[in-house]
Structures are given as structure tokens and as C-alpha cells.
Amino acid sequence: MEKIASSVFASLSRVSSKELTSYSWWEKAISSAISEDPVHFAVEITLIIIIFYLFTKQSYDPRTLQKLSKKDEEELIRSWEPIPLAPATNRIPKPSYVVESMTARTVEINGSSYVNFASMNFLGLASHPLVIKASRDTIDKYGVGSCGPRGFYGSFDVHLDLEKELADFLKAEECILYSDSIASISSVIPAFAKRGDLVVADKGVSFAIQQGLTLSRSQVKFFDHNDIKSLESILESVIKNDRKQSKKLNRRFIVVEGISSYFGDIAPLSDILRLARKYKFRLILDDTLAIGVLGREGRGSLEHFNIKLEDDILVCGSLDTSFATVGGFCVASHTVVDHQRLSGAGYCFSASSPPYASSAGLATLALLQSQQGRSNLINLQSNSQKLNKLLRNIRDIHVDSDEQGRSPVFHLRVNTGSRNRDEEVCDAVRDISFKSGIAVSVPDYIPAEMETPAPSVRVLVASHHTKEDIEKLAKVLERAFAEALNSKKN
């Protein structure tokens, strides 16, 4: 438009008022503008037409529309069929197994007592008297709910105390608490990884991590589960692509679990960190199942591999497992944690965890660092090794866990050639185990899973299980798998 205007105004300055009324003069002026830049002239004329159309178009006013007659209104009302926003409650299946007691070595389910191999109460502290007392005392003082997010009157002194104690325990500069364990890792990832950034993740990561990857809107590449060669191949391809294209620098992360929730094995963290530093990636570690389990003092994967927590590492964890309460957390440098207090969605927009949950966390953390806690940790690691040996002797099943028995998480799988049949076998094993007084679980996965794991019977061993409990479990499972597989063959 500037070119047309400048050309026309330049011509106007050189002509008289009589010539302005001449058609031939206007024809010459427009022809001159077209000849100078025809494309530009066409675009500007199109824009002028659009502007003129918008100015002359009649605005929408619902009051000017013709009103419906009473008869038409009644006809529309009769033809309307309401559709429920949620399914009827009678369509929701009733749970087959309902827990009716506190989580401990044994648990009451449907009125009967079972030896509990279905709980992540790895250190057996959920029913400890000191944890119960700390929770009750806090309820007496503060009530149950926090009634607000951390940044809006939802921060209590026990939240700050637990953050400090967790940071000291895990030898980190600072810690941030989240009210929900799943929300912690799914908030941490998008707080740092944004659109245009790159995340390389283990193909077997949990659904919570998958949600975080989706929310980050970053480019995501997956490497084969715990496969260092696959990881290095992807990192090398990224570097080669960088050499070919001159792109702006972006943030880059590797995301893994310390102990896999879907496979029970331990990530080769030393090798992963070596590659991360070689190729200039930061490491986000979800140590939910490893903290309180691995390491001499129970500090998790970093202690297990003798790795120091430095600025290029973020560690997320859960209070739902060994700490026997609810919530999640992230430990890292001051800068990394402070950034989450403004950018971590689960921290900013969710009500903080009930104060008694933090008091329970403080109590279990103190117990973990006491002589009793160390004894429980030793028992847990010993029980994991005992059960690992027994389960690997069962025929016709595959045991997904740490081969050396350092993980308390076991997934027992069969391969009948059909996923439906595998699910039926696992369900049958669980039911047979229940009839024998043993509680195990069969994980259920939602359709939104990136890659649904194979069906499995999940067994979780804890520090309070006795030698007799473990031996009985192995015998029951061996018999249950034999019965379930034979029934399918027939």
C-alpha cells in the first residue's frame, strides 16, 4: 500500500485540479504503479478490497434473527434427547478385592487375612507406631486439609521441614514437595523441556513420565529399555544431525527410571550418565522405586552407583513407597528447585499435601536413618535376593527384575502366543494365590499407554516378610502357574 500511495501522491503533487478529474490521468497513474511492481500492486489491491468488505459487512446480532414460534419451540424441546456426561454407576465394575485394614505384612481383604505381596511398603513403616502418632498429632494441631496451593497459604512448617530433611538425606542443595507423586515427574519434565527441545527417554518409562513428555511438547526419541548401545546410537545420530543443520541450541535431556516400574530391573546409571555428559545432555532420574531400597543407606540409585548429585542431574521420587505416606518430590540444585516453584504445574496449581502426610514422611525418614531403619533395609535387600532365586526356578515363566536380586519388584510373565490368554493366565494365578492366603496383583494399564507392557503377575517383597512367607509364596506361584497354564492347554 505504501508504494501505491507514494506513487499516487507523487503524481498528485505535479498535476492540477482539472487533470485530477481526467480518466486518462488516473489510468496512466495506475498503469505506472502496476508496471513498477505488479505482484506488490495485486497484493495491496486485494487487501484494500478485504478491508472495504469488512467495513461494509453487517455485524452479527442475534436479536435481528427471526424468533421461533411457540409451536417450533415445543417441537425442538420434544425432539431433544439428553445424553449423560458420565456413564451410569451400575456400569462401573465393582472391585473384586477390597482392602479393609492398614498396609502391613498381612492385610485384610474381603474379610480374610492374606500375606501381603502386593504393596510397595518396602520398609514396612506404614504401620509403625511412631508414624501413626506423628500423623495423629499433626491432625490434632492442623486438621486434615491444607486448603490451598503452596504459594497461596498452603505452606505449613512441616512441608518446609520435610523439604529440608529430604534434601539433607539425599545430599542435595534443595528439595521441592509435590502433593501427588504422579504429578511430580509429570510437572518436572515440562517445567524444563519445552517446544523445540529434545528429550531422549527409555522406551519402558512409566505412564507418569509419558504424561510429562507429552505435556512438554518437546521432540522425544526413545531408546530400547536399558540398552546402552541403543541410547548411544540415538545420541550419536543427534550430533551428526547437528553438524548438517545450523540450528539454534536447545535444551536436551535423558529421562530414565532408577528401578523400572514395568520391568523391575535397575537402569545402568553410570553408563547413562557417562553418555549424557559426553553428548551434553542433562539427566532426569525418576527414582521412585529405588529411594529407600538401593544403596547402603537407602539413598537410591545415585548411592548405589556411587554418583554425586550435581547440577546436570534432577532426581524425582515418591513418598508413596518406602516413606509410607503420599506425595512426590524433586531434589536438585537451588536454581533448578526455585524454577519449579514458579513453573512446576503440580506445585503451583494443586493444593499442597495434607500436613499430616508430611509429618508421616518426617517420621519415616527419621526411622530410615535410625538403627531400625538400617536393619529393615538390610532385611529388604536380603529378602529380594532370596525371592529372586526361588522365582527363577519356576518353569514356563519369565521373571522381569534385576538378575542379581537387588530389586524388590518382580513381574512374572508367560508367553502363550496370545495376549488375551496371557491375561487370563495371570488373572488365574492371582486368584489361585488368594485362595492360598497370598495377595499378589495383576497390573492394569489404561489405553493411553504409549506401549502397553505384556500382562504380568506383580510381586513386591518387603523387609517384614519372613523366610517362611517367601518360601510359601514361591511354592504357591509355582503351583498356580502350572494349574493356569494346564487349564488353558485343555
CB under 8 Å, gap of 24 or more: what pairs does 386-392 form?
386/467, 386/470, 387/459, 387/461, 387/470, 387/473, 387/474, 390/470, 390/471, 390/473, 390/474, 391/459, 391/474, 391/477
- 3-state secondary structure (DSSP) of residue 135: helix
Rounded to an integer, the average pLDDT of 28-33 is 70
Locate cell 553410570: which residue? Answer: 270
CA separation for the pair 284, 288 (Å, rounded):
12
**Residue 302 confidence (pLDDT):** 96
Tell me the per-residue pLDDT of 359-394, one tens digit each, with 9 for 90 and over: 999 999 999 999 998 999 999 999 999 999 999 999
**Residue 190 confidence (pLDDT):** 95
Phi and psi for 116 in degrees, rounded to 5? Answer: -90, 105
Asked if 241 and 175 sit in the same domain, the reply is yes
Asked if 319 and 410 sit in the same domain, the reply is no
Asked if 295 and 398 sit in the same domain, the reply is no
- 184 belongs to a structural domain: yes
Q: Which has the minimum average pLDDT: 35-49, 170-184, 209-223, 415-429?
A: 35-49
Rounded to an integer, the average pLDDT of 86-106 is 74
Q: Is 62 exposed, middle or buried (0-12, 13-18, 19+ CB in 10 A)?
A: exposed
* Tally of domains in the chain: 3
Considering the chain, what is the average pLDDT of its residues? Answer: 88
448: left (phi over 0), alpha (psi -120 to 50) or beta: alpha
Check if the beta carbon of residue 259 is closer than 8 Å to that of residue 407: yes
Confidence bin at 11 (pLDDT 50/70/90): low
Asked if 338 and 392 sit in the same domain, the reply is no
- Which CATH number goes with the domain that contains 216? 3.40.640.10
Asked if 408 and 332 sit in the same domain, the reply is no
Edge-to-edge strand list for the sheet holding 409-413:
398-400, 409-413, 457-460
What's the grid cell of residue 379? 532385611
Rounded to an integer, the average pLDDT of 217-230 is 94
**Residue 93 confidence (pLDDT):** 62
* Higher-pLDDT residue of 34, 346: 346
Asked if 376 and 353 sit in the same domain, the reply is no
Asked if 375 and 341 sit in the same domain, the reply is no
- 86 belongs to a structural domain: no
Q: Is 111 exposed, middle or buried (0-12, 13-18, 19+ CB in 10 A)?
A: exposed
- 457 belongs to a structural domain: yes
Asked if 419 and 288 sit in the same domain, the reply is no
Q: Which of 348, 368, 388 is the last residue of a domain?
A: 368
Confidence bin at 463 (pLDDT 50/70/90): very high
Give the helix ranges, DSSP H, for 369-418. 371-391
Tell me the per-residue pLDDT of 243-298, one tens digit each, with 9 for 90 and over: 887 766 789 999 999 999 999 999 999 999 999 999 999 999 999 999 999 999 99
- 60 belongs to a structural domain: no
CA separation for the pair 411, 433 (Å, rounded):
15
Q: Which has the minimum average pLDDT: 51-55, 135-139, 182-186, 405-409?
A: 51-55
> CA of 123: how far to CAs of 141, 172, 372, 484, in Å?
28, 23, 10, 32
Give this prediction's pTM.
0.79
- Residue among 218, 217, 216, 220 at smallest CA distance from 190: 216
Residue 151 clears pLDDT 80, i.e. is over it: yes
CA separation for the pair 133, 360 (Å, rounded):
9
Give the rounded percent of residues in the chain with a pLDDT score beyond 90: 66
Asked if 155 and 121 sit in the same domain, the reply is no
* Most trustworthy range by pLDDT among 12-21, 410-419, 444-453: 410-419
- Which CATH number goes with the domain that contains 480? 3.90.1150.10
Asked if 34 and 153 sit in the same domain, the reply is no
Q: Is the dihedral of CA 262, 482, 470, 444 positive or negative?
A: positive
For residue 151, the enclosing domain spans 144-368
Q: Which has the minimum average pLDDT: 72-76, 106-110, 245-249, 373-377?
A: 245-249
